[in-house]
Structure 1
Amino acid sequence: MRKSMIAKLMSLVLGAGVLLGSLGAPQAEAADDRYRFDFGSGPVEQGYIGVSASDKYTAKKGYGFNTPENMRNLPASGTGVASDSVQFVTYGTKSTNTFNVDLPPGLYEVDVTLGNTSRSSVAAEGVYQIINMTGNGAVDKFQIPVSDGQLNLLVTEGKAGAMFTLSALDIKLISNKPVTNRTIWIGGDSTVCNYYPLDSSVQAGWGQLLPQFIDPKAFQVRNMASGGQIARGFLNDGQMEAILKYIKPGDYFILQLGINDTNPKNTTTEAQFKEYMREMIRLAKAKGATVILSTPQGRASDFNTSGVHFSENRWYRHSTVALAQEEGVPLVDLNVLSSAYFTSIGPEATLALYMTGDTLHPNRNGARELARIVVEELRRQGMDGF
């Protein structure tokens, strides 16, 4: 059996006293449950292992790029580990142009810091892990089970024409068992997805704010929603594939789509929308997970002359409601629940929960209120763990 990566690192770093990365970089500090990599050709931060684009994986050192000829060193506009980066010249979730690191079997938390990029996704083990990180130096994390002794990771497309860059990885062992914690998986569109920086973005999706209402000891939240998404795309373009790779009994899968499906440019009839959603429900249920359907909230402007917010005829809502009944899955009718809340606070206060000049997309406060409504409804329905 291959020696653990840390034994190799200890031999390289402590035994031989080698300085990793650029000349004069501080000595990397290895620990048997943490692996930290600083990518690019610049100075290496204290406690990190420096990795240049030319560093090829070898079993002896236990890390490196599978095809370094398809990597490139680039500067980045951040500081510390975010001051330089590597670019993945070839990419795609199935690409062999990966950064490989040998790891003992277990469950790991991987903190990712990107370089300069407008929008990039992170893939590992052949599937998406994080969807559409935006902005230079964006930071996010995910849990991943490793059972084959090696993590294979790359940064890939979130937007055609963007550069896909990586500045740093911080990989921490959180369990010796390669099984993910109980997980709430989320599928959706721009009203649900993450925006960056995660803790301070002005715009936010309710899936991004859901962790504020969840006990992190009970669940991890994996938000796989993305802006502009439709049911056909979520099913066929890799997001559902990633969920199905890891979803398990005890997990929840909350699915909210319909806004973009109703746009004529996406050529999705209501009947087609319903069947795409049905297939995702059945695939997740077959893995033993609990599927929860949610209907999208309406626009801030959906008030009638009596001051009542009403948007029940939008976004293929009726098909989502019918599908929940037909497939026997719980429904969060966020459309109706949010309308009741908006009616209670009035048009002016409702508008303040949306982005300026935008009656569809919630701002951070609006996303927080929607997340609160979702959790309160799940708790009311007796969902275990809320």
Structure 2
Amino acid sequence: MMKWSTSLRMMLCTVLATSMIAVGLGTDRVEVAEAASDHYKFDFGAGAVTNGYTGVSASTAYTAARGYGFNTPANMKNVSASGSGVASDAVQFLKFGTKSDNTFNVDLPNGLYEVKVTLGNTARASVAAEGVYQIMNMTGNGATDQFQIPVTDGQLNLLVTEGKAGTAFTLSALEIRKLSNQPVTNRTIYIGGDSTVCNYYPLASSVQGGWGQLLPSYVNNTTFQVRNMATSGQIARGFRDDGQMEAILKYIKPGDYFILQLGINDTNAKNNTTEAQFKEIMRDMVRLAKNKGATVILSTPQGRATDFNSSNVHQAENRWYNASTRALAQEEGVTLVDLNKLSSAYFTSIGPAATLALYMNGDSLHPNRQGASQLARIVAADLKRQGLNGF
């Protein structure tokens, strides 16, 4: 199937002085020539193309003349999806991994871009670009999210990759918008953590929440963007060694914050991590981020909803290797948000019943959306109290 090149699309727009020109290419696929070279919209799959988008099927190979396409289309597959519009079909990545060459490539002028992804049908999948993770563990059919990325080599290379083994890794739509000619991310708050911190989808309406997901509500968004790299079940060793810390270190810079909260899963015997090992792995990540010029913040995890004594005082200081996190913050001279103690004080003030209502039903560990919002509020308030700006 013939595709119009990016340069031809732009030439047509200039000559005709229109904001958008749709050019029919058969009965089921439509190419769109867009007026603005800083805004690109792709609709993936074999079905009809949504108005305003450029259609891309699994067989669309990248060529320099076209300016976009799959690097190895033999490793792609057209699949259906259960959404509507751009989410009614998708492509599936049959080969994946952050270092995979099975990417969707788009030629772009160097600069800073905002990339919005819409997945197809998938249980859990992550998004990678430029060889590192960008979004962790998007869940549910038709999930959407976005991220900032600097392009420095004239091309974006993106794929959907493993979030959970055995599930399909699919992509329904991609929207790319240029933010700046300077290929540098805005000031960023990077977050590392586990299931009490991570994102749940849909981001705006999920029943369960992690406090990292809700933190943007308490951040000055003209100053900072928030990049939550936390994932369910994560331990310190896994965060450092399995790609999440790598992604942060690729982009983190002076003026950025790195908030790290782990320990809950590290204390589980199956993860074979002693408290001494946990502390040294955390120390390694603290120093790596400090060496990039970032402000590092350690946080202790909140306790369980049921950690009340007979006097209805909530207390969980000795959980989750908290003592080592507190000691490490002092030893390395970094900011500590003692969320464990701060949340216990809050839970004590509202009482056991109201505290339980901030957690998932039948689950004393994981906060619901309301609980995550309260934890995010506490984190932001404590950082503001300690003199950090942006909250």
Q: TM-score, normalised by structure 2?
A: 0.95
- Give the alignment partner of residue 318 of structure 2, picking from 307, 313, 316: 313
AA at the equivalent of 1:302: D
Identify the residue that residue 89 of structure 1 maps to in structure 2: 94
Mapped pair 1:145 → 2:150: yes
Superposition pairs of residues 183-194 of structure 1, within 5 angstroms = 183-194=188-199
CA contact (8 A) 2:6 2:66 kept: no
Residue 21 of structure 1 deviates from its aligned partner by: 6.8
CA distance in 2 between counterparts of 1:12 and 1:194 reads: 42
**What is the CA–CA distance in structure 2 between the aligned matches of 1:255 and 1:334, rounded to whole Å?**
12
Cα pair distance change 1:128/1:151, threshold 3 Å:
same
Q: Which residue of 2 aligns with 1:28?
A: 32
Q: Equivalent residue for 1:60? A: 65
* Alignment partner of 1:10 is 2:21: no
Question: How many residue pairs end up in the alignment?
Answer: 382
- 1:254 is aligned with what amino acid? I
C-alpha distance 20-309 of structure 1, shift in aligned 2 (>3 A): farther
Instruction: Give secondary structure in 1 for the equivalent of 2:202.
Output: coil
State how 1:1-386 maps to structure 2 within 5 Å.
6-11=6-11, 19=23, 23-30=27-34, 31-386=36-391
Alpha-carbon offset, residue 302 of structure 1: 0.1
Measured after TM superposition, the shift of residue 14 of structure 1 is 8.1
**Whole-Å separation in 1 of the counterparts to 2:389 and 2:376:** 17
8 Å CA contact retained: 2:22, 2:30:
no
Paired residues of 2:10 and 2:37 also in contact (CA < 8 A) = no
The 1:22–1:245 alpha-carbon spacing in structure 2 relative to 1, beyond 3 Å, is farther
1:262-296 superposed Cα distances (whole Å, 9 cap, x missing partner)? 00000000000001000000000000000000000
User: Taking structure 1 as reference, are residues 48 and 22 closer, same or farther at Cα in structure 2, changes over 3 Å only?
Assistant: farther
Cα distance change, pair 144–23 in 1 and its aligned pair in 2 (3 A): same
Residue identity in the other structure for 1:361:
H
SS in 2 for 1:38: strand
Structure 1 counterpart of 2:176, one-letter code: I
CA RMSD of aligned residues (A): 1.5
- Gap runs ≥5 in structure 2: none
User: 1:11 Cα shift?
Assistant: 4.3
In the alignment, the residues of structure 1 paired with residue 173 and residue 22 of structure 2 have an alpha-carbon distance, to the nearest angstrom, of 20
- 1:272 and 1:8 mapped to 2: Cα distance? 58
SS at match of 2:32: coil
Letter in 2 for 1:266: N
1:188-241 deviation per Cα after TM superposition (whole angstroms, max 9, x unaligned): 000000000000000000000000111211100000000000000000000000
Q: CA offsets per residue over residues 149-176 of structure 1, 9 Å max, x none?
A: 0000000000000100000001000111
CA shift in 2, pair 1:178/1:6, >3 Å: farther
Q: What runs of 5+ residues in structure 1 fail to find an aligned partner? A: none
Please give the alpha-carbon distance, in whole angstroms, between the structure 1 residues aligned to 2:24 and 2:107.
17
The structural deviation recorded for 1:147 is: 1.1
Kindly provide the amino acid, as one letter, of the partner of residue 367 in structure 1: A
Amino acid at match of 1:297: Q
Distance 1:157 1:24, change over 3 A: closer
- Of all paired residues, the percent bearing the same amino acid is 73
Alignment partners' CA distance in 1, 2:142 and 2:26:
21
Contact kept? 1:70, 1:88, Cα under 8 Å:
yes
Secondary structure of the corresponding residue to residue 198 of structure 2: coil
CA gap of 1:22–1:92, structure 2 versus 1, over 3 A, is: farther
Q: CA deviation at 1:32?
A: 1.7
CA contact (8 A) 2:218 2:380 kept: yes
Q: Does the 8 A contact of 2:266 with 2:278 survive in 1? A: yes
Partners of 2:352 and 2:22 in 1: CA distance? 64
Contact 2:61-2:73 at 8 Å conserved across structures: yes
Partners of 1:210 and 1:372 within 8 A in 2: yes
Q: How far apart, in 1, do the equivalents of 2:13 and 2:139 lie? A: 35
Measure, in 1, the Cα distance between the counterparts of 2:113 and 2:96.
23
Q: Residue 368 of structure 1: SS of its match in structure 2?
A: helix
Which deviates more from structure 2 when the two are superposed, residues 21-30 or residues 111-120? 21-30
The residue type paired with residue 73 of structure 1 is N
Q: CA deviation at 1:29?
A: 3.8
Give the ranges of 4+ consecutive aligned residues of structure 1 lying more than 6 Å apart after TM superposition: 12-18
